[in-house]
Amino acid sequence: MTELKWTRDSTFHDGGRNFRARGPGVYDVPEDAVEEYLDHRSGAWERVDEDDTEQSANDAGSEDSNASDDGDTETTSEPEGEGGALPFSPEEHTNAEIEERIADIDDVETVRALKNLEEEQQDRSGAADAFDDRLTELEE
């Protein structure tokens, strides 16, 4: 495993590797994912410098750590947005299903948060188009 720093205050999820980074911090990432994460379109992954390593060691013992008491990483079934849990996780739905689900969402910030999560998870152009269309409808 190699340590990389996730700099966004959001969740990054790689379903193929069963890897999740929640919020900014230093994470052990799979060796085969290092270059892919560093090249991720979000630009939010960075190599760890000396200061980050010291901060990571300090965070490991804090109550806000991403690890539970038994050493397992924290997992939840609901995606998180700025205002709390989002109504669904885009990666669990087809583009058509996403379009149907967001048709009933009237909150612009929720749609934006779902769009950002989709970009981090799978980054499908069809899903992005559905989110953009819905945002256009809501902003008119």
For every residue of 14-62, DSSP letters joined together read: EGGGTEEEESSEEEEE-GGGHHHHHT-TT--EEE--HHHHHHHHHHHTS
Q: What share of the chain is helix, strand, coil (3-state, %, to 5)?
A: 45, 20, 35
Quote the tokens at residue 4: 């990389």
Predicted pLDDT of residue 61: 38
Express each pLDDT in 5-55 by its tens digit. Answer: 988 888 888 877 888 888 889 999 989 999 988 988 778 899 988 665 555
Burial zone of 117 (CB within 10 Å; 0-12 exposed, 13-18 middle, 19+ buried): buried
Burial zone of 105 (CB within 10 Å; 0-12 exposed, 13-18 middle, 19+ buried): middle
Express each pLDDT in 84-119 by its tens digit. Answer: 578 888 988 899 999 999 999 998 998 999 999 898
Element (H, E) at 5: strand 2-6
- Residue 16: how many CB atoms within 10 A of its CB? 9
Closest listed residue to residue 13, CA positions, set 40, 31, 49: 40
